[in-house]
């Protein structure tokens, strides 16, 4: 086991990539705080983790609130004893071409995807700094690297998250805290299942590996960055995209 008795907190872990990450980290020995706005589904993730013999708690948190993020870290440390790994995964899309994008579409995506990650990260590094150890993984996106028509808000939030990752890595490396990002390509989850079939086919034709990624493909990258296998790696962006962007 690569993460025996570590405590990991994963945001947006009620479903999709976040849930898969939480289950893989638990399989490697970590105890988990499952964070989501959807408490019922977060509790389902907790049950699956407990069935693996690990401890887990579910907390209803909206990552847009810095107060809720602060309480989330406090509650996690009280319930599970420490906080070793933070995975900032909660994210949303509100896609529209730029000229049709409203202020609300812009603000909502920036607030969840970028401010939300900042809120959780700032709360977590206070605990990690005292422990002089910690590991943060931010879930960015291929479109934060290459842009995508219809996703001005989303691609800007994910590019911003990459900047936040690099700055955090520089500020906290000397205190034993690493910070990296993963940039998934198009992954088969609820977020991409909403696409029409023809758009999906067109997308797959652009991927050298000729398939969408799976949540498991992403979770394996997160596990690598969360474990000691990557102990000299910080401030990096790991692309998991089937070769779609190089």
Ligand X SMILES: NC(=O)c1ccc[n+]([C@@H]2O[C@H](COP(=O)([O-])OP(=O)(O)OC[C@H]3O[C@@H](n4cnc5c(N)ncnc54)[C@H](O)[C@@H]3O)[C@@H](O)[C@H]2O)c1
Give the count of alpha carbons within 13 A of 234, CB side only.
Answer: 19
Confirm if 218 and 17 have CB atoms less than 8 A apart. Answer: yes
Residues 204-243 that bind ligand X (CB under 6 A): none
For the bound state, the minimum distance from the C-beta of residue 96 to ligand X, rounded and expressed in Å, comes to: 16
- Name the strands in the sheet holding 56-60, side by side, starting at the edge strand that comes first in the sequence: 56-60, 31-36, 7-11, 85-88, 134-139, 177-184, 237-240
Residues 153-212 that bind ligand X (CB under 6 A): 184, 186-187, 189-192
Task: Count residues binding ligand X (CB under 6 A).
Answer: 29
For the bound state, the minimum distance from the C-beta of residue 91 to ligand X, rounded and expressed in Å, comes to: 2
Between 61 and 127, CB nearer to ligand X: 61
Query: Which residue in 174, 63, 59, 67 sits closest to 128, CA to CA?
Result: 174
Between 55 and 245, CB nearer to ligand X: 245
Residues 74-103 that bind ligand X (CB under 6 A): 89-92
Residue 48 CA, chain-centre distance (Å), reads: 19
Between 124 and 139, CB nearer to ligand X: 139
State how far the Cα of 166 lies from the Cα of 67, in Å rounded to an integer: 24
User: What number of residues does the chain have?
Assistant: 246
Identify the residue among 5, 44, 48, 62 touching ligand X (CB under 6 A): 62
136 near ligand X, judged by CB under 6 A? no
**Residues catalogued as catalytic:** 154
Between 6 and 158, CB nearer to ligand X: 158
State how far the Cα of 42 lies from the Cα of 24, in Å rounded to an integer: 15
**Residues of the shown chain interacting with ligand X in the complex, contacts defined by CB under 6 A:** 11-12, 14-18, 36-38, 61-64, 89-92, 112, 116, 139, 141, 184, 186-187, 189-192
């Amino acid at each position: 086991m690569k993460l025996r008795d570590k405590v990991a907190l994963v945001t947006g872990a009620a479903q999709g990539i976040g849930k898969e990450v939480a289950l893989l980290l638990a399989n490697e020995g970590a105890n988990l705080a499952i964070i989501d706005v959807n408490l019922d589904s977060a509790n389902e993730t907790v049950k699956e983790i407990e069935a693996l013999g690990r401890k887990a708690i579910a907390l209803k948190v909206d990552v847009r609130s810095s107060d809720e993020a602060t309480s989330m870290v406090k509650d996690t440390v009280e319930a599970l004893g420490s906080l070793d790994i933070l995975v900032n995964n909660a994210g949303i899309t509100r896609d529209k071409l730029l000229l049709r994008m409203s202020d609300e579409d812009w603000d909502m995506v920036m607030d969840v995807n970028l401010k939300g990650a900042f809120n959780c990260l700032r709360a977590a590094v206070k605990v990690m700094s005292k422990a002089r150890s910690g590991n943060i993984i931010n879930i960015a996106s291929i479109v934060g690297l290459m842009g995508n028509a219809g996703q001005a808000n989303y691609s800007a939030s994910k590019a911003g998250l990459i900047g936040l990752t690099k700055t955090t890595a520089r500020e906290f490396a000397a205190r034993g805290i690493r910070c990296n990002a993963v940039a998934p390509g198009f992954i088969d989850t609820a977020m991409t299942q909403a696409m029409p079939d023809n758009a999906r086919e067109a997308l797959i034709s652009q991927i050298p590996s000729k398939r969408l990624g799976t949540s498991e493909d992403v979770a394996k990258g997160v596990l690598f960055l969360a474990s000691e296998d990557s102990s000299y790696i910080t401030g990096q962006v790991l692309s998991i995209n089937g070769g779609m962007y190089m």
